[in-house]
Structure 1
Amino acid sequence: MATSTRPRTWHRALTFWRRSIQARVVVSTVVLSAVVVCGVGWLLLQQTQRGLLDHRVDNVLTEVNTVVADTNRQLEGSLSASTTANDQRTQVVNGLIARGASRGFTVVSPQALGSTAEFDQGAIYTEGLEVDKSVPVSLRQHFGEVADTAWTYTRISQVGHASVPGIVVGTQIKLPADADYYTLYFLFPLTEQQETLGLVTRALVTAALLLLALVAGITWLVTRQVVTPVRMARRVAERLAAGQLQERVRVSGEDDLARLATSFNQMASNLQRQIRQLEELSRVQQQFVSDVSHELRTPLTTVRMAGDVLHDARRSFDPVTARAAELLQTELDRFETLLVDLLEISRFDAGAAVLELDEVNLTDVARRVVDQTQVLAQQRFTHVVVDAPDEPCLAEADVRRVERIVRNLVTNAIDHAQGDSGVSRDVVVHVAADEHSAAIAVRDYGVGLRPGESAMVFNRFWRADPARARTSGGTGLGLSISLEDTHLHGGWLQAWGRIGEGAQFRLTLPRRAGAPLRQSPLPLVPVDAREAVG
């Protein structure tokens, strides 16, 4: 359950990040501010640490010099009291240890000069101090012979306590008893400086967090003043796109955003006025087409009756009059078809077209259409074949409309099956289906389509070649009606074509009415096309 919730959470977070300008601006500002604050804080801490350590080193060296000077004066005044070098060394070191206990430092005095390994058994040092861990070997090596005062950083270890950072200063004194030099190590802890640095660090971190919170709040407030009007304009634009043309952006103030809102409202008003004009014009046009189509049916019926009489009696006429009667009959058939198509287009425009759904086998539809167009194909010396699987290709559809779509595609393919060489090739009707969709593709090898014409071929009364005659008696509305029928089913009607390679029209329908289409079981580009092979 947790693994399934996490991807949804990430998806919602990413969606919010992509869609929210305010969130991106706030986060970007806070991140950049954090980088700057961290950089400045690090520099301040480095400067503070260096200053504290430098000041502590100066104080330590001053104190060591004072202690050594006092020790030398003590040795000069106690020559008669100390008879041996060991007694003088013991007296001096014990005094320094006692002094260090009150001054906050510890003392180490090895027995031999320059002990660079472990301290010898005769070393004298402050009780509890782990001298081998506290005095670095490098400093011991420095005092392997007579040398000047030197210091270094170290960690002071005491028995039963954690080690603490510190400074160790090494120096040498000369005992009057044997006129030899003895090394003294003074260890000063940096506990106070460490606490001060920690306090400064906590103060800087607290100040940085407060500063970042303040920057985030200020950025959020500033971006809110800009983003809120933009969001309001977006919501109004979405409602306008949904058809609520009366929506307007609320205007407050006289700044640039207010002027933008005013311009947006003016644009919306102009669009509303123009859309209403277009709707009125479209309504008038639709009404005109519908009225004309209906009104023409009565005189067409009368003319049809007279034409049928003349056509039936044409054998008794002279050849010219008989030919005129035949032409009249042909044009009356075309005129009647045009009226039917205009009525169908007017129903689509008025939104009055409805589906009568049923389980349709597209293979049977394709075969019926091929049988119906066989005479036309023979006239064009074209053979139409069906390429379909053995199992049924079923879809919930209006069989009358689907059959009309396929018939328009097949007759259109027959019209254009003859190429530039004048030789007609077969028209192939492919049928296929998958789990979610079913499709019919009509492939011809005629003149083809130029680039860009695949989108224009479904326009009303459009012809690829205006000089080309409609041999099948088409009205120029067949593909437009087919596209409307396809949209009514929630399907796709697409075209592909190349000059010299022919064309292919593909109809894709969902297997279940109302289901969304994601892919087609047939490719739009034919498998035998050069671009598909390449």
Structure 2
Amino acid sequence: MIWFTRSRRKINGTFTPLLRWFRSIGTSAGHAWRRSLQLRVVVSTLTLSLVVIVILGAVLTGQITDRLLEAKISAATEELERSRTTVEGALAGAEDSDGLNARLERARAQLSNRDSDAGQTAGSAGTFEPVLIVEGDSVRADSSVGPAAQIPQSLRNFVQSNLISWQYATVFDSEQGGYSGPAIIFGTPTASDIADLELYLVFPLGSEERTLSLVRGTLFIGAAVLLVLLAAISMLVARQVVLPIRSASRIAVRFADGRLKERMPVRGEDDMARLAMSFNEMAESQSKQITQLEEFGSLQRRFTSDVSHELRTPLTTVRMAADLIHDGSADLDPALRRSSELLVNELDRFETLLGDLLEISRHDAGVAELAAEQLDLRMCARAAVSTVRHLARETGTEVIVDLPDAPVIAEVDPRRVERILRNLLANALDHGEGKPVLIRLRANSDAAAFVVRDQGIGLRPGEEKLVFNRFWRSDPSRVRRSGGTGLGLAISVEDARLHDGKLEAWGAMGEGACFRLTLPLVRGHKVIGSPLPLKPSTRRYAQGQPLPAASTQIEFDTPSTNGALGVSAGTADDPEEWT
């Protein structure tokens, strides 16, 4: 058993490199087959041509063989008649006193038109060798002249039944220089004074075999030359078709890259020329539409920016008047006091909306700048939590902060990162239905990731992409407690892209939502993976449930009456994602 195991390992070790080489060759061939239209056309043409050539060669070879054998049989039949007449005449003039074998030898000698080294005779049907056989009886023994052993017994049975017959056979001549190979043997009874005399003519098929070999060789050489010519022709034809397609592909790629002036050259009036004209017409139409959309987008961005700037002056005046009214609201009746409060709140929301519009217009115009600096990302998380604590108190939501013990240093814009986290936390508090909200930070050697997780209403399938659209709301009737403008997540996505990072969302109905912000530790580095998973596990944290042992509970806000408000900070030993 040990010997068998060692032998199998040795065989596997020997053939493994060979198998890998064949696998790599197959992979490369498959890749070339999928990518090259010219290769597929040439290979398909050669394969079909080879099938046609093989079929045609088989048909031609069969026809030539049949015609050669028909001519051979016809000439051999005539020769057999002449030979029988010659033998009967020779035996009729011979003396009976001569021995039987001597008479047969003289008849065979008269039958021969010419002698050769092998004792064969040449006639109109080609060379042949006569054989005379006399069937023995109780008085005399069998007598024969010629190679009687070459005659098949089945043929003799037909001849002994007074039938003229022929049969294919393979003959073997033991004499030096004799013929060995396929032959056709004709047999006939005779009407001589020698009873039971049988005449056989052995016609070798060597010349026919050589003729067929010559025909096969000619067909093979012709097929090889034809395949080479077909390969060259198919390559030339495929090249004429593929080159314009490749040119169109390159031009289409450059057009997609933004080179809107790229056009295909039009040559002639064939199908490729019509394709080029159609492509150019489509490119011209697309170019005009893209230019119009760019101009429209530019006008829209400029209009948004100008309106936002122009509204700041009257808004400042209205703000001063509203603050003046609000300062004296104590002397007003309750209805006017409430009106002044609503006026101030809406002015706050209006100012936030103007700020978001200005920020989004900067991103659209491509003029947003990143004031990056080296800092600890835990500071951004703590600052964002501090800004939303009033929302947590109003909604009775516990915010759980899970930060590493060691500093997470990254090159980021602290204002933008804090704004992203603030927007995510405010969104989680708005839709968390009072259940705990988690913010977690983790880092590896390349990137750092924030996760903001709630256990609220969640997202429907497909909404994880829509949440970043401007002014999009899953439930339009739902009230925003945070006073959001509908642009927060859209601005957050642009801020993440400005850092060369990613902002992603996950959600399920009844299970809440999870947002993940991944940022590179060094500015300009591409983010490949993330230290935290986007989809959380099935483990849940309930209100009032103690945190893991390594976490410390810090309450920096006054708890609400139900004790739900609490802000926890620290690190958890449990590596599983909280949900």
Alignment TM-score > 0.5, same fold = yes
Amino acid at match of 1:37: I
Distance in 1 (CA, whole Å) between partners of 2:189 and 2:406 is 107
Whether contact under 8 Å (2:86, 2:110) holds in the other structure is no
Give the superposition deviation at 1:404: 2.8
Whether contact under 8 Å (1:113, 1:144) holds in the other structure is no
Give the match for residue 103 of structure 2. Answer: 88
Distance in 2 (CA, whole Å) between partners of 1:491 and 1:353 is 15
Give the superposition deviation at 1:488: 3.2
1:150 corresponds to which of 142, 165, 168: 165
1:105 corresponds to which of 128, 131, 144: 128
Distance 1:482 1:192, change over 3 A: same
Deviations 1:110-129 (A, max 9, x none): 78669xxxxx9987546xxx
Amino acid at match of 1:205: F
Give the superposition deviation at 1:74: 0.9
Distance 1:250 1:504, change over 3 A: same
Give the superposition deviation at 1:397: 5.3
Whether contact under 8 Å (1:88, 1:175) holds in the other structure is no
SS of the aligned residue for 2:513 comes to: strand
Whether contact under 8 Å (1:170, 1:185) holds in the other structure is yes
Distance in 1 (CA, whole Å) between partners of 2:527 and 2:154 is 80
Distance 1:231 1:83, change over 3 A: same
Give the match for residue 356 of structure 2. Answer: 341
Amino acid at match of 2:287: Q
Distance in 2 (CA, whole Å) between partners of 1:79 and 1:518 is 114
Deviations 1:68-125 (A, max 9, x none): 3211211111134x522233234445666747524123355678669xxxxx998754
Amino acid at match of 1:187: V
Amino acid at match of 2:181: V
Distance 1:54 1:417, change over 3 A: same
Whether contact under 8 Å (2:84, 2:199) holds in the other structure is no
Give the superposition deviation at 1:235: 2.6
Distance 1:96 1:226, change over 3 A: same
Give the superposition deviation at 1:290: 3.0
Distance in 1 (CA, whole Å) between partners of 2:454 and 2:325 is 39
Give the superposition deviation at 1:480: 0.5
Whether contact under 8 Å (1:362, 1:440) holds in the other structure is no
Give the match for residue 201 of structure 2. Answer: 186
Amino acid at match of 2:491: I
- Structure 2 segments unaligned to the other structure (5+ residues): 1-16, 540-579
Distance in 1 (CA, whole Å) between partners of 2:469 and 2:241 is 44
Distance in 2 (CA, whole Å) between partners of 1:170 and 1:391 is 110
Distance in 1 (CA, whole Å) between partners of 2:82 and 2:57 is 37
Distance 1:146 1:113, change over 3 A: farther
Distance in 1 (CA, whole Å) between partners of 2:521 and 2:163 is 98
**Stretch deviating more after TM superposition (298-307 or 244-253):** 298-307
Q: CA RMSD in A?
A: 4.2
Distance in 2 (CA, whole Å) between partners of 1:43 and 1:231 is 42
Distance in 2 (CA, whole Å) between partners of 1:101 and 1:475 is 114
What does residue range 391-430 of structure 1 map to in structure 2 within 5 Å?
398-418=413-433, 424-429=434-439
Give the match for residue 382 of structure 1. Answer: 397
Distance in 2 (CA, whole Å) between partners of 1:37 and 1:173 is 49
Give the match for residue 259 of structure 2. Answer: 244
Give the match for residue 54 of structure 2. Answer: 38
Whether contact under 8 Å (2:453, 2:512) holds in the other structure is yes
Distance in 1 (CA, whole Å) between partners of 2:345 and 2:50 is 84
Whether contact under 8 Å (1:89, 1:175) holds in the other structure is no
Distance 1:391 1:64, change over 3 A: farther
Give the superposition deviation at 1:415: 0.8
Whether contact under 8 Å (1:394, 1:438) holds in the other structure is no
Distance in 2 (CA, whole Å) between partners of 1:112 and 1:102 is 24
2:467 corresponds to which of 419, 432, 457: 457
Distance in 1 (CA, whole Å) between partners of 2:62 and 2:528 is 62
Distance in 2 (CA, whole Å) between partners of 1:524 and 1:415 is 20
2:487 corresponds to which of 474, 477, 485: 477
Give the superposition deviation at 1:286: 2.1
Give the superposition deviation at 1:241: 1.0
1:444 aligns with 2:444: no
Whether contact under 8 Å (2:404, 2:441) holds in the other structure is yes
Distance 1:105 1:518, change over 3 A: farther
SS of the aligned residue for 2:266 comes to: coil
1:493 corresponds to which of 503, 506, 509: 503
Distance in 2 (CA, whole Å) between partners of 1:283 and 1:183 is 112
What does residue range 104-183 of structure 1 map to in structure 2 within 5 Å?
104-107=127-130, 124-125=145-146, 136=152, 138-139=154-155, 142=157, 148-159=163-174, 163-172=180-189, 176=193, 179-183=194-198
1:231 aligns with 2:243: no
Amino acid at match of 2:218: A
Give the match for residue 7 of structure 2. Answer: none
Identity percentage over the alignment? Answer: 46
Distance 1:321 1:250, change over 3 A: same
Deviations 1:244-293 (A, max 9, x none): 11122222334444344333323322222222222222222223333344
Amino acid at match of 1:148: L
Amino acid at match of 1:50: D
Distance in 2 (CA, whole Å) between partners of 1:240 and 1:300 is 46
Give the superposition deviation at 1:484: 1.6
SS of the aligned residue for 1:25 comes to: helix
Give the superposition deviation at 1:154: 2.6
Distance 1:501 1:158, change over 3 A: same
Distance in 1 (CA, whole Å) between partners of 2:199 and 2:404 is 103
Give the match for residue 50 of structure 1. Answer: 66
Give the match for residue 568 of structure 2. Answer: none
SS of the aligned residue for 1:338 comes to: helix
**Stretch deviating more after TM superposition (193-202 or 7-16):** 7-16
Size of the aligned set, in residue pairs, is 510
- Structure 1 segments unaligned to the other structure (5+ residues): 115-119, 419-423, 530-534
**Stretch deviating more after TM superposition (458-467 or 217-226):** 217-226
What does residue range 212-231 of structure 1 map to in structure 2 within 5 Å?
212-231=227-246
Whether contact under 8 Å (2:501, 2:519) holds in the other structure is yes
Whether contact under 8 Å (2:436, 2:454) holds in the other structure is yes
Give the superposition deviation at 1:192: 1.8
Distance in 2 (CA, whole Å) between partners of 1:107 and 1:242 is 89
Distance 1:188 1:404, change over 3 A: farther
Give the superposition deviation at 1:468: 2.2
Distance in 2 (CA, whole Å) between partners of 1:106 and 1:516 is 92
SS of the aligned residue for 1:105 comes to: strand
SS of the aligned residue for 1:152 comes to: strand
**Stretch deviating more after TM superposition (222-231 or 389-398):** 389-398
